Chain A
Amino acid sequence: MLETRTDEQLMSIFCNDNDINNARAFETLYQRHKGPLFRFIKKSINNEQDCHETFQELWFKVINNKTQFNPNHKFTTWIYTIARRMMIDVFRKSGRMSELTACMENELQDMPLKQPENEFETKQMGTYLQTAIMQLPTAQRQTFILRHDAGFTLNEIAEITEQAIEKTKSQYRYAVKKLKLSLERFK
């Protein structure tokens, strides 16, 4: 059963030309990661056309360079690193590099996060959260999405974004504070 295999095992099957399951292995891998990756790209770029192009190009790169994947490393770290590098290119080409770098802000006051009381409130808060996420600076937005959509640890995010762990922690802290502030009305 391919569904029970790890990402790395599926990649190994996909890389093996003599394995009859290689097409199915890729399909399983794609189905497993397409959603989080698509949302990560879409919320980072915030442009539908660029998002679709980048997403397609990303998977084409994975397919064409499958032999470059090292099975001793995590597949998700590898593919998100490629995705992030591609997005930097998109930002560079569209003259939006300042969005990526601008993240230093004044220290905000930390406040507790309100737990939603019912299903309705959860949905409402969820909708507000999406809007608030899109207003975050790109680097903070990416860090938050990688943490809560793809489920990476802060160390893994630091590896994917190729920056120091302290900087990643700081970005995440800023993102969380801003999002809490935007959800303050639900108190």
Chain B
Amino acid sequence: MSNHKEDKIWRKLYQQSKNEQPPKAIDDLILQHAKAEITKNKSFSRNKWRPWLAAASVVLVLPLIWLLTQNNELIDTEALDTPMLAPKPIQAAPVEQGIEVELIELDDLKEYEEMEQAAPSTTQRKSATADIIESTATNSRLKAESLNANRHLLMDELKASKKTIKQQNLDPIMALELQQFHQYIENNQLEMAEQLLADMRHSYPDFNYDELIHLLAETKPVEKLPH
């Protein structure tokens, strides 16, 4: 009998027991595991971009922050190097309306004065170079003028930002001191009044004392010029 024919008989006989299958419970377990694996992989493929996105955003944001920082430094450097440019004006709200005003600290003024002192040396340095080129004197004079102009501007702004002495602005102690000041003026105790004014200016630097200074100056006897 040929092998081929024999194989057919074996297969036919073997077919009789070929109906044996795994239990349904195992089928379900295996198919469920396959589905779970597919779901897990799908969610992984969705999540796998997250670290890359985070990294990309860091890569984009960091240079942006660095650029912004650099720009600020640039602006600061420019402000120091070219004192002709006026410092950014501080927006002062109308004082009369009693709106809370953001005040320039005395430190700011000092800082400005230091800047002002530093400026001539920068100017000198620049003018030394400019000597070689041409007309250093003109340049330095122009710069000094612009410095003065800037200083006046800053002083005006500083004054504008200060509160006027009005009853609604004063705290009780300052009100008492103000009353005392007027009493000194009435009694012609000018030295005492001057002393009190100095104390008030020291204790309450946020106020504009021009009015009181004028009052004191008007009350003082006019010094006669020596012949």
Q: Which residues of A contact B (CB under 8 A)?
A: 14, 17-18, 22-23, 26-27, 30, 34-35, 38-39, 42, 52, 55-56, 59-60, 63-64, 66, 112-113, 115-116, 122-123, 125-127, 129-130, 147-149, 176, 179
Docked-complex contact B18 and A60, CB < 8 angstroms: no
Distance from B186 Cβ to chain A, minimum over Cβ atoms (Å): 95
A23 contacts which chain B residues (CB < 8 A)?
A: 34-35, 38
Distance from B138 Cβ to chain A, minimum over Cβ atoms (Å): 75
The CA of A34 and the CA of B28, in the complex, are separated in Å by 12
Q: Which residues of B contact A (CB under 8 A)?
A: 1, 6-7, 9-18, 20-23, 26-27, 29-31, 33-35, 37-38, 41-42, 45
Partner of B22, one of A18, A22, A34: A34
Query: Secondary structure at chain A's binding surface: helix, strand, loop or mixed?
Result: helix
Docked-complex contact B37 and A64, CB < 8 angstroms: yes
Docked-complex contact A30 and B30, CB < 8 angstroms: yes
A60 contacts which chain B residues (CB < 8 A)?
A: 30, 33
Distance from A179 Cβ to chain B, minimum over Cβ atoms (Å): 8
Docked-complex contact A52 and B37, CB < 8 angstroms: no
A selection of 15 A-B contacts at a CB cut-off of 8 Å is A14-B34, A26-B31, A26-B34, A30-B31, A39-B20, A59-B30, A60-B30, A116-B9, A122-B13, A122-B16, A129-B13, A129-B17, A130-B16, A148-B7, A148-B14
A38 contacts which chain B residues (CB < 8 A)?
A: 20-22
The CA of A123 and the CA of B30, in the complex, are separated in Å by 33
CB-based nearest B residue for A55: B22
Docked-complex contact B38 and A22, CB < 8 angstroms: yes
Distance from B46 Cβ to chain A, minimum over Cβ atoms (Å): 10
Docked-complex contact A126 and B17, CB < 8 angstroms: yes
Distance from A50 Cβ to chain B, minimum over Cβ atoms (Å): 13
Docked-complex contact B26 and A42, CB < 8 angstroms: no
The CA of A27 and the CA of B42, in the complex, are separated in Å by 18
Docked-complex contact B26 and A129, CB < 8 angstroms: no
Partner of A27, one of B11, B21, B31, B37: B31
The CA of A39 and the CA of B35, in the complex, are separated in Å by 25
The CA of A27 and the CA of B9, in the complex, are separated in Å by 32
A176 contacts which chain B residues (CB < 8 A)?
A: 6, 10
B7 contacts which chain A residues (CB < 8 A)?
A: 147-148
A66 contacts which chain B residues (CB < 8 A)?
A: 37
The CA of A34 and the CA of B20, in the complex, are separated in Å by 10
CB-based nearest A residue for B46: A17
Knowing A17-B38, A17-B45, A112-B1 touch, does A126 contact B13 (C-beta < 8 A)? Answer: yes
Docked-complex contact B38 and A55, CB < 8 angstroms: no
CB-based nearest A residue for B42: A17
Docked-complex contact A149 and B14, CB < 8 angstroms: yes
Docked-complex contact A34 and B10, CB < 8 angstroms: no
Docked-complex contact B31 and A34, CB < 8 angstroms: no
B29 contacts which chain A residues (CB < 8 A)?
A: 56
Docked-complex contact A52 and B11, CB < 8 angstroms: no
- Using A18-B45, A127-B17 as known contacts, list a sample of 12 further A-B pairs with CB atoms less than 8 Å apart, ordered by residue number in A: A17-B42, A17-B45, A27-B34, A34-B21, A35-B20, A60-B33, A66-B37, A116-B9, A126-B16, A129-B17, A130-B17, A148-B11
Knowing A52-B26, A60-B30 touch, does A129 contact B12 (C-beta < 8 A)? Answer: no
